């Protein structure tokens, strides 16, 4: 069985819950990513923030990204466990219409799965099947 651990991008870095959105945006830029997990001082996953969150919920509302904290934008958190099957991972991403999902082992962040990881897993031919990828894309991008 192919699991979340098999396809995730390991070694995901967190932005601290008390770090600013400016810090988060610079981390995203430097790592070439569009989302950052938010971790507390205990190292446990607390939320996730996207570049879109920063633009629409901070800047567009006239708030200051140099003072607003990452945790202020953390909404409901969806994540998967490292041993969850790919079917379970895709189902959760489809159900909640999310393009990136943190992977946890216990309560600790161990990786992230993005659409890029799904595409790479499909290209590699051993992690994401044609059927899984087509159903995911249909669910995410085709209005029903």
10-residue stretch averages of pLDDT, the chain, 144 residues long: 89 94 97 93 92 96 97 90 94 92 92 88 71 84 72
Structure confidence at residue 9 (pLDDT): 87
Question: Which DSSP state fits 71?
Answer: G
DSSP H or E run through 54: helix 51-57
Which 3 state secondary structure label does DSSP give 61? helix
What is the rounded distance in angstroms from the CA atom of residue 89 to the CA atom of residue 68? 31
What is the rounded distance in angstroms from the CA atom of residue 122 to the CA atom of residue 113? 13
Q: Where are the beta strands (DSSP E) in the chain?
A: 9-10, 15-16, 35-39, 45-50, 80-81, 100-105, 108-114
Structure confidence at residue 88 (pLDDT): 94
Spatial CB neighbours of 19, under 8 Å, sequence gap ≥ 6: 69, 70
**Domain of residue 97, residue span:** 4-141
- Residues found in the chain: 144
Q: Please state the domain count of the chain.
A: 1
Structure confidence at residue 142 (pLDDT): 81
Spatial CB neighbours of 24, under 8 Å, sequence gap ≥ 6: 15, 36, 49, 54, 70
CATH of residue 78: 3.10.580.10
- Expressed in angstroms, the distance from the first to the final Cα of the chain is 30
What is the rounded distance in angstroms from the CA atom of residue 120 to the CA atom of residue 57? 31
Structure confidence at residue 125 (pLDDT): 63
Structure confidence at residue 36 (pLDDT): 93
Structure confidence at residue 131 (pLDDT): 83
């Amino acid at each position: 069985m192919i699991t979340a651990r098999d396809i995730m991008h390991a070694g995901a870095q967190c932005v601290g819950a008390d770090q600013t959105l400016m810090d988060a945006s610079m981390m995203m830029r430097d790592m070439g990513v569009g989302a950052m997990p938010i971790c507390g001082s205990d190292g446990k996953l607390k939320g996730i923030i996207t570049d879109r969150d920063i633009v629409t919920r901070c800047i567009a509302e006239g708030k200051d990204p140099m003072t607003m904290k990452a945790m202020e934008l953390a909404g409901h958190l969806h994540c998967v466990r490292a041993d969850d099957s790919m079917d379970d991972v895709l189902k959760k991403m489809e159900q909640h219409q999310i393009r990136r999902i943190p992977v946890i082992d216990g309560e600790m962040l161990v990786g992230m799965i993005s659409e890029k990881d799904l595409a790479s897993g499909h290209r590699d031919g051993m992690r994401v099947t044609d059927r899984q990828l087509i159903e995911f894309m249909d669910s995410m991008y085709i209005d029903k």
